[in-house]
Chain A
Amino acid sequence: MATYLGTHGGKIQTYTSDPSNPNTGEVWYNSTANTIRVEAQTTAGAWATGGNINTGRFYIAGAGTQTSTLGAGGESPPGTVVASTEIYNGSAWTSVTSMSNARFFTGSAGESNTSALVFGRYDPASGITESWNGSSWTEVADLNTGRGRFGGTGTQTAALAAGGGPPNNGTTAAESWNNTCWTSVTSLNTARGYVNTGGTYTSALTVGGLSPPGTTLGVVESWNGSAWTEVADIATPAGIRSTFGQDKDNILAVGNGLTELWNGSAWTETTDLSTARGNVGAANSGPVASNIVFGGSPSPTLTEEWTGAGAPVVKTIDTD
């Protein structure tokens, strides 16, 4: 009779808790849970709940990664624009120093919850830009074109802003940030507000948007550092999305109950949020396989964490 020892050359280990960094395919016995477990890989993306944000809000600026996230500003229902800032460590949100200026639906960029940039404001229009170092906000050079209702991507020192408004029906303006000033770059082909951006400041994707009053756009444009090229539309235009992923050929767009994954040539609908909502914030750095969205309307306190296909995950072997 074949045995585990015979086919794999070793007995499975017994642990009182799961090992911290097992190899893919490694099997062990968890003596506390009385179960056999394996380090497997996910076969499809999935959302899990994360810690609830302290100040519920939507149109919140986001930066960082799933385990080092910044959320700043936004609109806290009913109708209060806030400056409050919170950081997330992978399990819980903590309130920290507020921005100098209350604002919502700003652009944002940043690689962690200690290094981020928030820029722009819609009403009244402003290019105000603040830089976060983990403990305080510092006002730096304004955008050339004061506006809000856009996303933004990149890092604290190298960011991209595209689209937004005013005007009410959106603009084509695009600017890049070099840690000293904003410089106007080649404009988008299609003016739109409520647009979101993923990728880096030299390699990015702008996704969807709205052209008021209420016209939803599925248009997507790709940025190579010098020019915008229109690519395939999102499958289901559904208003405001948040986007994340540093690789413009691997971007996830989330919002209004829908999640779509971009592979560089086409959009595919994938697992939706557990609680459908729009106007969520997203940490726009880190890999698309491991990211996070938070806030939104309705349900402005919720956080959900995305684990993409191929990610390591501990599974219990079901013997029933």
Chain B
Amino acid sequence: MAKTYQYCVAKNWGKGFIDHVESQKITFVGLPGNVWQVPAYNKHGNLWIAKVAGAVKTKTEAQAIVDAEVQAAQATWDALPDAEKAPAVENNKRPTDITLEE
């Protein structure tokens, strides 16, 4: 099955990392570990990866990077005192696992 997405690692430097024209042409998904998901077999995605000097990763490699980041965040959350894990605190939910798509 042809893949739908491609992945790369690139650090978001801020202004100009993704511009409005690029954002209108393709959908960007930023993930933990500076992993970015963009459409596969797509000229605009390829041009953007080249622009940001992204290190292209296979889905398996990208998943490993994301997993490591999420697991570290989960460990940090698990170590919090119970009082800081109150379910009403919107910003402090336990980080959830992320499964990348092909």
Contacts and interface: CB of A to CB of B under 8 A. Distances in A.
Contacts of B97: none
B90 A49 contact: no
Interface in A1-53: 42-44, 46-52
Interface in B54-102: 73, 76, 84, 86-88, 90-91, 95
Interface string A55-94: 0001100000000000000010011000000000001100
Contacts of B76: 78
Interface in B17-32: 17-24, 27-30, 32
Nearest to B84: A79
Q: How would you classify the secondary structure of chain A's contact residues: helix, strand, loop or mixed?
A: loop
A49 B18 contact: yes
A42 B20 CA distance: 9
A307 B84 CA distance: 37
Interface residues of A, number: 42
B21 A50 contact: no
Nearest to B70: A298
28 contacts: A42-B24, A43-B24, A46-B23, A48-B18, A49-B12, A49-B16, A49-B17, A49-B18, A49-B19, A50-B14, A50-B15, A51-B14, A58-B91, A79-B84, A91-B15, A92-B14, A213-B87, A214-B88, A214-B90, A274-B23, A274-B29, A274-B30, A275-B12, A278-B91, A302-B12, A305-B20, A313-B21, A314-B21
A51 B90 CA distance: 26
A307 B20 contact: yes
A271 B20 CA distance: 12
Interface of A: 42-44, 46-52, 58-59, 75, 78-79, 91-92, 168, 194, 210, 212-214, 239-240, 271, 274-276, 278-279, 297-299, 302-303, 305, 307, 311, 313-315
Closest 8 pairs between A and B when the two form their complex, measured CB to CB: A275-B30, A212-B88, A46-B23, A49-B17, A51-B14, A52-B14, A213-B88, A274-B28
A305 B19 CA distance: 9
A315 to B, nearest CB: 6
